[in-house]
Amino acid sequence: MIDFSVSLFEVARADIVSNCCSRMRMRIYSCLQSEVIHPGFLQDHPVSTQPDSPMGGEASNALPQSANSPGETAAYPEDQLPEYEPLTPELVEDEAIRGDFVIRWAVVLLALLFGWTQIDDTSLLVRIRNGQQHLLPFGNDTFSASAGDRPWANLAWLYDPILAGVYGVLGASGLTMLGAVMAALTFWSLSRISVKGVSTWWGSVCAAIALVAVFPQLVPGPTGITLLGVTVVTCLLYQWSEDRSERFPWALPVTMWFWSQLDPRAYIGAMIVLLYALGWVGLRGKVDGESPGKTKRLWKITGACLLAWVLHPLFMHVVRSPMTAYQIEYPELRAYRGFDWPQVWQWFPVYSPEFNTFRDVFALAGLVLCGLAVLTLLLNFKRITWEWVLPWVGVVALAAFGAHQLPVAALLSCVLITLNAQLWYRGTFSQQYTVDTMPLAWNRGGRAITVMSLLLLGLVASNGMLMGRDGRRIGSGFSPLMKANISGAEKLVSEVASKEVFNFRLEQGDLLIWAGLKPYVDRRISLYAQAPENLLKKHRELRLALLTPNEKVPERGKPDLWKKEFERLHINQAIPRLSGPSPDYLTMVDMNSQGWSLTSLQSFGAVLSRPDSPDEAFQKYRKDHPDVDFVKQAFRTEAPQSPTTDGPWIFPRRPTIYDRYLWQPQTSLSEPLQLASHENALMRLLGGNPQMGYTATALALSALRHARQGIILDPQSAVGYNLLAHSAYNLYQTDVDLGANFGVAYPSNVWLYQALSAYQHSVQLDPGNATTREELATLLLKLQKRDLALNHMVELYHLTGNYSTLSPNDPRFKQVTQVNQNVVTELKRHVKKVTEAALKAKVDGGTWEKSLQEALNGQCPALALEYLEANRVEVAKKPQNERVALQKLQVGLLLDCGRNEDALQQAESLENMLPKSGPEAAQPFVTEIRSLTALANLSNGNNTRFEELIQMVSLASSESAVRGIVDQAPLAVA
């Protein structure tokens, strides 16, 4: 019987040996071909010439026979292993080639990752709508209120139906997929530009830097087409230069034609081809072995590419596209001063102070590559690839006058760096690999470090460290802010009188077009800025004319200007933008003070209706749509009953290492939180007006409800807890004021403790927020929690270097800082005194209860909680009444210290032991525990449980009062 275990082991071992022998034969053959090994080597080291077996290599010769077969022995002893194969230059070369391959494709996969990002470019919304409604680039504009009498020269006319088709089939996730594929193709084309026979390692490193530089434009829009077109045209040109055949490269003019139909910046490709031809003819010398007619064919290629570029339905606009970009689009974008736009540096020249102010890591990566290109030109001056110098100089010049082309300059710099660095390396160093220690460490260690660096780059891109916490993040579909803005814009459709509205921001117009409205302007700059009238300039004038007059700004307060234009276009409503990082509350309040009526308030914006419109249809609309009545909405309209209103939320968790380094959560506000933010801002603006007290209170209550909804959707939102705290504290102030006016003591501690717990949650989620620290310290001082207030004031100083969050330029800064510093000094003295008294009470032979009492009398809850928790064993040994009293005290201290989850668990365990009804339920000790449990549930947002416990307390008190009346004579029964 055959021993299968031994046979399988020996078969596997023989297979390994045969593979090694096959590899050795192949290397010996290749070395003989290159004359590295002398042919006499084979005489001393004969190799079997028998053909390989079907099992691979020489397995048939090396396969051991079964030990049970008579007269046969195994080929190898069982304890013998294949001979060690020494490291050779050929093996080192194989490793280097494989390493370059891995690094090259790692960059392509990184490009796929960088392209797989959320969509936050609003201009894509207009292109999708245009692709859904217009297949040809002819006819007047149908999307805007102001440019309906002029055509839109949409040079990317073929790309809009593609975007619309992708969105229609796959939705917003399909747009992300399209952007990712375009990014991967861009860097795959870039990786193919390399000198044959030379390592591509350095080129891949530069491509990784270029990937960072082009990230702002790696989107599924025309800007992404620009990057793809640049690399494809450059790759085709390089392949043609290396090809010695006389075939005409039809791929180049075909690529240029498609590029021209898909992207307004196709002039960059035409310029690259033209400058490449000029550099080839004027700067590049004759190369050995080059066919004599190559230069002539290059001019034919250039002519075909230029013809393909202008072969466009709007060919005159194509020819003028460079002037349109630099004389119209970029200056107009700079005029809007949209400094809160992402990568706003793109619209300024590189030499401008604005570029230096707003540049980020992406701009710096582009500048670094341009600098490295200059360095490689100097290193490789004797072997410069002159045909690529002129295209690079041309693109860098474009970037100098408009940083929007800096990503393109980064790609051309990468090409120039790769080719010149490879030629310099080939001409300076030996191309033979060795097994010496230092070269081997460089080849292996350097490539390993490169792979780890690429992995780190992918990590910082995935977790948001590269793009910024609220930047364009890795993901699919629309970004959270875009989703909230689209939802808010769509809700405005039913709130306006007609489709024609006046918007204040360009990107706001894109969202309104998506919702089906007709804004005054949007981001189609060339449509509005060209003759016969610059509507963008008029738009900026109208924005100022709508505001109240100001001597310092003479353009403000011109009603005749805006009334004439609005009546011409039948515009009766304006929508100030309220979404994004800098909501325009001042414009909304300013226009409202002039008589403009607030008809609707949504997360996206506010609808303001003009007071004196002559339009009869609009007057009828105003009768059916009165001004927003916040008091009616808050107090006279039934609040929506849903889990987002009354249900408990998940307790927030401190940011972990995963949150800080692996995946930073976004802080983009959901739609309810944006509404709460707007209502909170209005509440603060109206808070100083006594006549608007009821409105301010209604706004506070509405903001509280929307903040709760937002926290349910995002339990880790520090902003949501901040808004909740502001609203609750404002309601507390209202109760105090009402109590003072009517001589009634309202139970205001409910709002106060809700504000306290919300502030504590916010600090837990965002410990570095100095403003929240200061507000919480102020509230704790009001509640006489001295040591807790001191802790937060000290943290405030560590964060800002001062005891105030005011700017040093603020005239109140010195006074407020001095007052807060005096408060901190007094708190330190007081806390030190109480701490020493508590220690002394214990040292002098007292019990820990005396130290606890000293801490409580000294208004130091953190110190008191420390003594309670340090003596848990002693507390457990106490009689039941004393133990429950101490546990009740601990619940209150836990709430004071912000440990709300622990407080809730302990409070609920105590409440479960209490009687639910009867005379015992009305005892003060029972009602105190139940009320404390209700506050603990309020810190968790559990309104249902809070109401249940408060009703139990109220019912028990009512029953006790009735029972007391019944027990009195003459109703008492003997």
Name the packing angle between helices 201-214 and 159-191 (round to 10°).
150
CA–CA separation, 716 and 75 (whole Å): 68
Whether 333 and 326 have beta carbons less than 8 Å apart is answered as no
Given a cut of 50, the residues of the chain with pLDDT beneath it are 1-24, 26-76, 643-644, 971-974
Alpha helices in 311-436 (DSSP H): 315-319, 321-324, 330-335, 353-358, 361-379, 389-401, 406-428
Locate 303 and state its tokens: 């002519």
Give the helix/strand (H/E) hosting 573.
strand 573-575
Residue 242 burial by Cβ neighbours in a 10 Å radius (0-12, 13-18, 19+): exposed
Whether 523 and 506 have beta carbons less than 8 Å apart is answered as yes
Closest CA to 524 of 315, 332, 267: 332
Same domain, 363 and 403: yes
CA–CA separation, 760 and 738 (whole Å): 27
**DSSP β-bridge partners for residue 140:** 151
pLDDT value, residue 746:
62
Full-model pTM: 0.83
Same domain, 493 and 432: no
Q: Residue 612 belongs to what domain range?
A: 480-622
CA–CA separation, 343 and 355 (whole Å): 10
In a domain, 208, yes or no: yes
Same domain, 72 and 111: no
Same domain, 139 and 259: yes
In a domain, 855, yes or no: no
- Structural domain ending residue among the three candidates 741, 767, 793: 767
Same domain, 155 and 69: no
CA–CA separation, 268 and 229 (whole Å): 9
In a domain, 802, yes or no: no
For 448, 591, 751, 757, 834, the CA distances from 267, given in Å and listed in that order, are 40, 44, 63, 59, 76
Whether 856 and 864 have beta carbons less than 8 Å apart is answered as yes
Same domain, 115 and 70: no
Rounded to 5 degrees, φ, ψ at 850 are -70, -40
Rounded to 5 degrees, φ, ψ at 140 are -75, 165
Give the helix/strand (H/E) hosting 601.
strand 597-601
Closest CA to 175 of 221, 110, 216: 221
Q: Is the peptide bond before 137 cis (omega within 30 degrees of 0)?
A: no
Same domain, 547 and 589: yes
In a domain, 818, yes or no: no
Same domain, 17 and 163: no
Name the packing angle between helices 718-742 and 770-782 (round to 10°).
30
- Structural domain ending residue among the three candidates 732, 767, 802: 767
- How long, in residues, is the chain? 974
In a domain, 84, yes or no: no
Same domain, 121 and 261: yes
Locate 673 and state its tokens: 């939180």
Neighbours of 906 (CB within 10 A): 19
Locate 348 and state its tokens: 């300024």
Question: Is the Cα dihedral 375, 378, 379, 383 positive or negative?
Answer: positive
Nearest-5° Cα angle at 200, 199 to 201:
95
- Structural domain ending residue among the three candidates 435, 462, 489: 462
**DSSP β-bridge partners for residue 151:** 140
CA–CA separation, 145 and 497 (whole Å): 14
CA–CA separation, 924 and 919 (whole Å): 11
Closest CA to 326 of 392, 402, 429: 402
Buried b / exposed e along 520-551 (16+ C-beta atoms within 10 A): bbbbbbbbbbbeeeebbebbbebbbbbbeeee
In a domain, 913, yes or no: no
Residues with Cβ within 8 Å of residue 2, at least 6 apart in sequence: 66, 68
Same domain, 615 and 634: no
Tracing tokens 């007052």 back to the chain, one arrives at 819
Alpha helices in 594-717 (DSSP H): 616-624, 630-635, 643-646, 657, 671-686, 693-713
CA–CA separation, 511 and 159 (whole Å): 19
pLDDT value, residue 285:
64
In a domain, 510, yes or no: yes
In a domain, 272, yes or no: yes
Same domain, 42 and 185: no
Provide DSSP, 253-274.
Answer: HHHHHHHHHH-TTTHHHHHHHH
Same domain, 614 and 646: no
Locate 562 and state its tokens: 């805006």
The pLDDT tens digits for 675-687 are 999 999 988 888 7
Q: Could you give the number of structural domains in the chain?
A: 4
